[in-house]
Amino acid sequence: MAALQKLPTSNLPDAVLDRRQAVPALIDRPQDFLIVTGLAGAAQELSAMTGNTPNLFAMGGAMGAALMTALGLALAQPKKKVLCVTGDGDLLMSVGGLATIALQNPSNLTVICVDNGHYGETGNQESHTGLGVRLDTIAAGSGFPAVHTINTDTDLEEGRRLLQQDGLRFMLLRVKEGPPLKEKRNLVPHMERENFRKALLG
Amino acid sequence: MTDASNWPDRLYDLLRSANVTQFAYVPDAGHKVLINRSLADPDAHSIPLTTEEEGVALAAGADLGGERAVLLMQSSGVGNCINLLSLIAGCRFPLLTLVSMRGDFGEGNPWQFPMGQATEPVLKAMGAIVLRCDQPEEVIPTVSAAITMVFQSNQAVAVLLGQRLIGAKKF
């Protein structure tokens, strides 16, 4: 039998939020942050939300790189608030980075995982989180001092408030399967770097 | 005359004088002094990694924020970094990495040879420039050259510290 069974840790309620509303509702002031996104859905969504603003560094590949890129940025810019926004697939590829980040404990970094439980870019295969792996529990076990699991509109409102506060945090934003907001992106990688640095560093 | 045998301490001073502030590493005996100095330095970030490719992404993020990073790893770790080196090549990020060699001169553990011998071609295949040190007096001039190539010219440079320099582990 080749079918995969759901793990017994899969005890969260079914996701009800639509990412196209939930991500902009959570990050309602993207201009307040330096933002690094993982590839695919998160990159498309944040590009669409911000019109490719230069305070956004959105990956077009390099799966697994978003988390630690955000750490390097957060350590380099301790007076700015840094957001890492990435999907469950990208984060699953770099879970060790959660432990590395917790040891540094940068008070200006929030990691938001937009968890749809699927690999949306590659044929919508169910991901480990879709089968019950809990990235919020992993973040807590890695030593993140604050972990929030967002399932409802009420949770979203609380998350939006917490984003304005200091302190390292992890937010698991649980969303239904379905497409992200989309906008045609510039996929020339070195322009992403140059635009971001010019806007931040002059 | 300067004693070349204290190159690890002088190497730390060189990196700090070049404004390298983020020291990322998976521990290796060959990097012991750099790791300990970074842990004792209140003006540097000492960043232990769970796997080496974390350090590649970290270096990219440091550059986005205007800081300089160095990735310290053993040659085995180079294999873990391969795909993320596309982030460095594509975006033209500067990357400085110091690689202590295994599977090299005098190696006594056969498990170390496949990655040790592949280290240089793999780095080159991903667009990194490879420099090498086998004698104590080569370290400071070689890393000085690498610092210029990386942070003035936005190149990815790996400096291999050979087992002739750091000694082969005894088995």
Mean pLDDT of chain B: 95
> Is the distance from CB of A195 to CB of B64 less than 8 angstroms?
no
Residue of chain B nearest A63, judged by CA positions: B84
Over pLDDT 70: what percentage of chain A? 100
Mean pLDDT of chain A: 94
Q: Is the pLDDT of residue B68 over 50?
A: yes
Please write down the HEC assignment for all residues of A150-188. ECCHHHHHHHHHHHCCCCCEEEEEEECCCCCCCCCCCCC
> Is the distance from CB of B95 to CB of B56 less than 8 angstroms?
yes
Pick the residue with more confidence: B120 or A53? Answer: B120
Mean pLDDT calculated for residue range A185-193: 88
Residue of chain A nearest B26, judged by CA positions: A100
The whole-angstrom distance between A68's CA and the closest CA on chain B is 5
Chain B partners of A192 at a C-beta cutoff of 8 Å?
91
Domain ranges for chain A, please list them. 19-201
Local structure of B133: helix, strand or coil = strand
Predicted TM-score of the model (pTM): 0.96
Mean pLDDT calculated for residue range A100-106: 98
Mean pLDDT calculated for residue range A47-70: 94
Q: Which CATH architecture has domain A19-201?
A: 3-Layer(aba) Sandwich (3.40)
pLDDT band at A1 (very low <50, low <70, confident <90, very high): low
The whole-angstrom distance between A8's CA and the closest CA on chain B is 27
Pick the residue with more confidence: A4 or A11? Answer: A4
Q: Can you tell me the distance from the alpha carbon of A86 to that of A38, in angstroms, rounded to the nearest whole number?
A: 5
Which residue in B126, B122, B148 sits closest to B68, CA to CA? B148
The HSE-up count of residue A49 (CA atoms within 13 Å, CB side) is: 26
> Is the distance from CB of B81 to CB of A61 less than 8 angstroms?
no
Mean pLDDT calculated for residue range A71-83: 98
Q: Is the pLDDT of residue B169 over 90?
A: no
Could you give all domains of chain B from N- to C-terminal order, each with its CATH number?
Answer: 4-166 (3.40.50.970)
Please tell me what DSSP assigns to residue A4. Answer: P
Look at residue B10 in the predicted model and tell me its pLDDT.
96
Please tell me what DSSP assigns to residue A17. Answer: B
Interface touch A62/B50, C-beta < 8 Å:
no
Interface touch A65/B66, C-beta < 8 Å:
no
Mean pLDDT calculated for residue range A139-155: 97
pLDDT band at B1 (very low <50, low <70, confident <90, very high): very low
Over pLDDT 90: what percentage of chain B? 93
ipTM confidence: 0.95
Pick the residue with more confidence: A178 or A78? Answer: A78
Mean pLDDT calculated for residue range B69-79: 97
Interface touch B61/A190, C-beta < 8 Å:
no
Partner residue facing B84 (CB), from A34, A65, A71: A65
